[in-house]
Amino acid sequence: MEGSNRILIYGRIGQKPELRYTAKREAVCSFSVAENIPDSEAPKWHKVVVWGREAELCQAQLDKGLPIFVRGRNVDCEFKTKEGNLKKYTELRADRVGISIA
């Protein structure tokens, strides 16, 4: 993992994690995390994506509002809409997800 792109966030899950499978039957779980930033009025939202066995565990164990930490790297993504417009977003591809007990 590239050091300059690696991040660690702590926050609460925004919605129940959603699990799906690719055409090659690889598990992918996605959910959002609200990170509270000191001296900020609103939380910073992160789109989190987890792959493989950990994705299946996230879907089974995590729920909305649960405090967690996520370690991974930010990846810039883009796609074209049906109208031909280019849309861009950033997702956090997690390599570790943990539940906070505090």
33-91 pLDDT, tens digit per residue, is 999 999 999 999 999 999 999 999 999 999 999 999 999 999 999 989 999 999 999 99
Look at the chain and report how many structural domains it folds into: 1
Spell out the alpha helix ranges (H) of 13-99: 53-61
Q: Examine the pLDDT at 3 and tell me if it is beyond 50.
A: no
| Residue 100 forms part of a structural domain | no
Supply the pLDDT for residue 4: 59
| Residue 101 forms part of a structural domain | no
Residue 101 phi/psi, 5° resolution?
-100, 0
Q: Which domain holds residue 50?
A: 3-94
pTM: 0.84
Write out the E strands in 1-102: 6-13, 18-21, 27-35, 44-51, 67-80, 86-99
CATH number, residue 26: 2.40.50.140
| Residue 55 forms part of a structural domain | yes
| Residue 76 forms part of a structural domain | yes
| Residue 35 forms part of a structural domain | yes
Question: How large is the average pLDDT for residues 6-29?
Answer: 95
